[in-house]
Structure formats: structure tokens, C-alpha cells
Chain A
């Protein structure tokens, strides 16, 4: 059921995206829109078929087990509760935010330190050592290998 729900969400999301693209295609000339429209319509038909297949399988198996075609993917993935999932995404989203604020070099070191200390629960010594080491390697790369100045961050503006 977990995989079924996630799969349905993805099918729905992709369908929405394809429909949006199809809508946009009507503003284009014939030459520019012919192939995209063909592909988009075909994709929407396949998505509908996938959605229907998932629904029928769910009904047949009483909402349990996975739809055909996914068996090879192995066991159903462990449940990720909403809180854990949100925290995971927050850590991922923090990376571009850190780089945007502090720049590529300092932001990488800051992010690495925060991640190792608070997410991975490593010691301060280890976290600082890896963060500084990584920052040092990137600084060396940018001063010797990559001469173009790396993005300096909002705080440098």
C-alpha cells in the first residue's frame, strides 16, 4: 500500500506536468509543437494506463502487495514517517541555502559541519576536521585548478 500510494502520487504528479506542457504547446507554431504534442499525448495515455493498472491491482489484492512490474524492485521500502521525511528534505534543501548565503567555499564547510554534528551525530572534533579539510581541498582546487572565483555568497555582497 505504501508503495502503491507513493506510486500513485508520482503518476498523478507526472500527469499534471504533462498536461501543463500540453496546454503550453498550443501557444507554439505547428513546426515547434507537433512532436511535443505527440509525445505528450502518448505520455498521458501511458500514465493513465499505469494509474488504472495500479488501481485494478490494488483492488484485486485488497490493497496489499505491490502492483505487477515492481516485484523485481525487492521488498517494499521501509516506511518513512512524515517527520523523518521532512527532516531529510530539510537537510537537502539546506545545502543550496548554505551555499547561497555563505558562498561555495565557506558554505560547503558550514554545511558539512552542521550535517556531521547534528544529523550524523559525530563528535565536534571529527566534524570540524572533515569540514575544514573539505573546505581546504575546495579552496586549493579553486586557487590552483579553478582560477575563476567561486561564488562568494550573499554575505560578501
Chain B
């Protein structure tokens, strides 16, 4: 790394830690944590709020604030997923597969300790890769076309097997349903209305927020009411909570190769423009399950099922900044708004940004890094009082959770109909939970379907016109191999285990 980059990084760090600049990332982190702890609210909304307020600010405090919004937003959504089975946003959904069972087993502290550690260290890996790769990313990102995006979507879908628990067939059906729901609204190519059944509400498509709140938050509440469970943790005293934060922290180091692999995966996926962050956690979980020697505990409270997606979710933040800064292509809504902020302050992403404004770039990166660590440390500090919530009588928690979910659903678009939608999905989610139909594949398919359909259409059209040749695109081949491995490896391992058992 040349000296100008090092100088810029050092100068930026000095600025970030100086007074009064250090106030901005701290305040931004606290705001982001508060927003992301409430289901349905997210940092993108916070950023949109901040844009007009910060319009006349100098660039440095703007970078500090928005960097902390990006960095501080992910972890708290995982906390609610672990404690209450209610993900803050789609990217947190996969953490509940193992995080929530750990809570039910009274190991909430261990789960949050593992999540916090993965989160902070994962973000660090993401930032390191970001800094190293930044000068090279422009040409790499330009090389990603519809065929590559299609393969990424397919690769993501191969993790369905891991996300379906023990019922692959029902996982596939749930994914099919997710696709169906994603088709509702305007077709992106012909602008025809599809599957709206004459309802104006559906012409915008189904929003992910009410679906997520319904399938998890409201379904969980219905389950609490119907099952007659006394508390979330099935334990009535906080001194019956097993597990300590330290167990969770040590677990990350015990499974360090898994953590590192997931972080790198998260960074790479985050760096792919237009994918969105939700996919990183899904794929990391799938890979963790498919490559584990013994995956029997996944979905039942295996700490690896918390480490992998959490590391990927936070590493992706660093990755998502790569195309945003290098090319001006946002990875998701949050980075899209960040891009808008940069433009409004006269900062053009691309070569100019990476040469003339390198100090500002590093200010953004350091703020992201700092806020990730701050969020994790605060999360660990708050783990005991938060874990105690799981021993509060369920009948007291239910109305509060329901109303928070209602606020989250209505706030997103200002429509009461979104709450009705959330309630309907809550009923469906409860029925699915009752008969052990997996719900995560539905969410994953809902997220991936638009990318899959549009990429498929573009790829086929370009192939029809003779504009692309799959076999001459190295990344397509690499992704094809990864996809094939994802499909074949679990089967191979199962056969190998059976053969070994027979021999023994």
C-alpha cells in the first residue's frame, strides 16, 4: 500500500478521534442502534432524515455521521432476532434460526456474546478488505453483468437446503411461495401489473417489512398466546438463564476458520452492487451448514449458526462501500442514500473520490469501523438486562411487542393496510411454525426473486442476440462451480458418514 494511502488513513484516524469530531460517530451509532432495535425501522430511514439537516454541514462531520449510521445499524436487529425471534430486518432473519433456540434453552447471553464478537470482528475484516481492494474494484465491478448476477442468485438459492431444516421439500415450496409474492406488482420490463387482483394496495408490490414483521414478530406472538408458554425463555427466573457472554465470545475464536470464511464471503457479496445485504447472511449460514462435519445441531441452537451469518452481515457493510465509492453504484438502500449525500456535497464517487478526497473516504471508513465496535460493546454491556426480558411473563410482553410491530409496519409507508398485511402474514407464519414449515426460505426467495427474474430475462435476451457467451466469462464459471459444490457437498458428506458408520 503506497504512502499516500497510509498518510490519508492516518490523517483520517486523527480527525475521527479528535474533539469535537468524535461526538458524531458516537451520536450516530446510538441513533442507529435505537432505530434498528425497533422492528420495521432501519438506518436507511435515519439517513433520509439526516440528509436535509446535514445539507449545509462540512463534509467531515457528514462522513462521520453517515458512516456510523451504516456501521451501527445491523447488530441490534440481530439482538431482537435472538431474544424474541423477531428480526429487525431481512438480513437479521437467518440469525434467529439458531439464535432463538439458544434463547429458549436459556443461553441468550452466549448467543448475544457470539453475535457481538462476530459482528465487531466481521466488520474489521470487511474494512481491511475494503481498504486493500479499493483501488482494484472499479474494473472488477464493471465486469459483473446479468449472467454473473444470475449465477449469484442461483447460488443463493442453493442455500435453501440449509435453511429448510429437515424438510427440504417444504423449504422449496416456501421458496416458491416467496417467488410468487415477489411477482406481485409491476413487471420490471413491460410495466404490466401482475397478480394484484384489482387491489391498488398491491400495485406497489408487497413490501418486505410487513411480511417480515408478520411472519416472525406477529407469528411469534400468536404462538406465545396459543401455547400458553409462561415466558419467552421457558424459564421464570433470570438466575435460571444459563450461558455467559464469555462463552459466546470464546466460541468465535474456537470456530475462527468458519468466522473468517463467513466474513470474507460477506465482504465479497456486499461488494457486488445491487445484491443487497440480506443475501450475505443467508449464504454464509448455508455454507456453514453445508461444510460442517456435523451439521445435526444447526437449527437447534448451534452457536455456529449465529457466528456465520452475523460475521457476514457486518462484513458486508465494508464490502458495500466498495462499489459505492469506487463506482457510484449502491449495494442497497442505505448505500444508495449515502451516494445521494456524497453527490449533494459535490463528491463524485469514482477515480476523483479515490484520489482527491482520500482522507474523506478514510473518515467514512473509520467511522464505520468505530461504530461497529461501539455497537458490539454496548450490545454486550446491555446483554444482561436484555436477556432478562426473556424471563418476563409472556402475557405482559405480548401487547408491547404487537404494538411495536404495528408501529414498524405502519411507519414504513404510512399505510394502515401494511398492518393488515402483517397480521395476515402473522396468521400464515403461525400456521407454518405450528406444522414445522420453514419460513426463512420464503423470505430469502422474496429477496432474491427480483434479481433472479430480471437477470434471467436479461441473460437469455443477450444470449439470444449473441451478445454473451457463458463459457468465456470466468466469474460465471467460478460461481457455477461454487453452486455445484453447494449442492453436491452435503450429499457427499452424508454418504461418506453413512459409509463410515457401516464400516464401523
| Interface residues in chain A, defined as those with a beta carbon under 8 Å from any beta carbon in chain B | 3, 6-7, 9-10, 14, 17-18, 21, 24-25, 28-29, 31-33, 35-36, 39-40, 42-43, 46-47, 49-50, 53, 66, 69-73, 77-78, 80, 84-85, 88-89, 91-93, 95-96, 99-100, 104, 108, 111-112, 115-116, 119-122, 130, 134, 138, 146, 148, 151
Contact = CB atoms under 8 A, between A and B. Distances in A.
Nearest to B197: A24
Contact of B225 (A88, A111, A121): A88
Contacts of B436: 3, 7, 66, 69-70, 72-73
Contacts of B341: none
Nearest to A151: B416
B406 interface: yes
B400 A112 contact: yes
A138 B408 CA distance: 12
A32 B187 contact: yes
10 contacts: A3-B434, A24-B194, A28-B194, A35-B452, A39-B179, A50-B169, A72-B436, A73-B166, A116-B399, A120-B393
B218 interface: yes
Contacts of B300: 72
A39 B176 contact: yes
B225 A39 contact: no
Contact of B435 (A3, A108, A151): A3
Contacts of B453: 35
A70 B166 contact: yes
B439 to A, nearest CB: 12
Interface string B307-337: 0000000000000000000000000000000
B431 to A, nearest CB: 5
Nearest to B409: A96
Given A7-B435, A104-B410, A134-B399, 8 more contacts: A6-B431, A35-B453, A36-B194, A39-B176, A39-B180, A70-B436, A92-B402, A151-B416
B396 A31 contact: no
Interface of B: 165-170, 172-173, 176-177, 179-180, 183, 187, 189-190, 192, 194-195, 197, 218, 221-222, 225-228, 299-300, 393, 395-396, 398-400, 402-403, 406-407, 410-411, 414, 416, 419-420, 423, 426-427, 431-432, 434-437, 452-453, 456-457
B227 A78 contact: yes
Given A28-B192, A32-B192, A80-B226, A108 B406 contact: yes
Contacts of A104: 406-407, 410
A156 B65 CA distance: 39
- Nearest 9 A/B pairs, CB to CB: A43-B176, A73-B436, A120-B395, A69-B167, A7-B435, A72-B166, A32-B187, A115-B399, A70-B436
B contacts with A: majority SS: helix
A95 B416 contact: no
Contact of B419 (A43, A99, A121): A99
Chain A interface main SS type: helix
Contacts of A42: 176
Contacts of B299: 72
Contacts of B420: 96
B453 to A, nearest CB: 5
B190 A29 contact: yes
Contacts of B431: 6, 9-10
Contacts of A112: 399-400, 403
A85 B406 CA distance: 21
A85 B423 CA distance: 15
B176 A120 contact: no
A74 to B, nearest CB: 8
Given A84-B226, A100-B416, A14 B434 contact: no
A138 B407 contact: yes
A151 B416 CA distance: 8
Contacts of A95: 402-403, 406, 419, 423
A46 B227 contact: no
A111 B416 contact: no
Given A21-B195, A70-B436, A92-B426, A43 B180 contact: yes
A92 B180 contact: no
A92 B423 contact: yes
A33 B227 CA distance: 42
Interface centre among A69, A78, A120 (most CB of B within 10 A): A69
A69 B169 contact: yes
A125 to B, nearest CB: 13
A77 B434 contact: yes
Contacts of A85: 226
Among A29, A35, A146, residue most surrounded by chain B Cβ atoms (within 10 Å): A35
A12 B159 CA distance: 26
A56 B322 CA distance: 53
